[in-house]
């Protein structure tokens, strides 16, 4: 068995504390803040983040937009909008994969070497965690295998159980290779 891809890391903790090039925000289409990780990022970044978000005219589900990080230790915030889980028959998987791809494209365009993602859509938007994890790992791993930047992607998990799902999915991925 080959080793787990060293460019992908799993971290347990608060994404707002990470001193990386970009953190990804699980936002909503207004980009004007909310609860969960979105609320935490806006609180930590300060009101300048909301002011910049107001200039962006929202964001479509599956797309992403980039702002500065302001008072965060991260240089940029990439705001993406995950799908609300509606049973799986409404294109949720493709939309979630698109969130990861579009975020990575924006990160690469700004030459971000280290990017951290939360588990997009798995909170308020109720996407089943095991399915969301497979999509996150599969999409990120495909992207970095074709692109040199970002060099490292961190999956930042708020709970131990989520981190275990990521570790298991990473192992399954390397076993298939």
Q: What are phi and psi of 13, to 5 degrees?
A: 155, -165
- Smallest distance, ligand AR6 to C-beta of residue 74, A: 12
Residue closer to ligand AR6, measured from CB, 2 or 160: 160
Cβ atoms of 120 and 24 within 8 Å: the answer is yes
Q: Enumerate the active-site residues.
A: 38
Q: Are 32 and 65 in contact (CB under 8 A)?
A: no
The nearer residue to ligand AR6, 13 or 111, going by C-beta atoms, is: 13
C-beta of 145: minimal distance to ligand AR6 in Å?
A: 25
Q: Please give the Cα distance from 127 to 3 (Å, whole number).
A: 29
Question: Min. distance of Cβ 122 from ligand AR6 in angstroms?
Answer: 4
Which residues, in sequence order, are CB contacts of 120 under 8 Å at separation 6+? 24, 26, 80, 82, 96, 99, 100, 127, 132, 136
Residue 5 or 38: the one with the smaller Cβ distance to ligand AR6 is: 38
The least CB distance from residue 172 to ligand AR6, in Å, is: 20
User: Among candidates 161, 153, 162, which has minimal Cα distance to 4?
Assistant: 153
**Which residue ranges make up the site for ligand AR6 (CB under 6 A)?**
14-16, 26-28, 34-38, 40, 82, 118-125, 156, 158, 162
Closest CB to ligand AR6 among residues 111, 164: 164
């Amino acid at each position: 068995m080959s080793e787990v891809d060293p460019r992908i890391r799993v971290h347990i903790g608060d994404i707002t504390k990470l001193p990386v090039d970009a953190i990804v925000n699980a936002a909503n289409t207004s980009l004007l803040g909310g609860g969960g990780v979105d609320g935490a990022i806006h609180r930590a970044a300060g009101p300048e983040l909301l002011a910049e978000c107001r200039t962006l005219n929202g964001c479509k589900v599956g797309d992403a937009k980039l702002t500065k990080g302001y008072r965060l230790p991260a240089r940029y915030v990439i705001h993406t909008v995950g799908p609300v889980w509606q049973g799986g028959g409404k294109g949720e998987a493709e939309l979630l994969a698109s969130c990861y791809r579009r975020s990575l494209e924006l990160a690469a365009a700004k030459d971000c070497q280290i990017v951290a993602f939360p588990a997009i859509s798995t909170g308020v938007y109720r996407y089943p965690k095991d399915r969301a994890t497979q999509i996150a790992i599969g999409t990120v791993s495909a992207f970095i295998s074709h692109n040199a930047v970002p060099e490292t992607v961190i999956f930042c998990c708020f709970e131990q159980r989520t981190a275990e799902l990521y570790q298991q999915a990473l192992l399954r991925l390397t076993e298939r290779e």
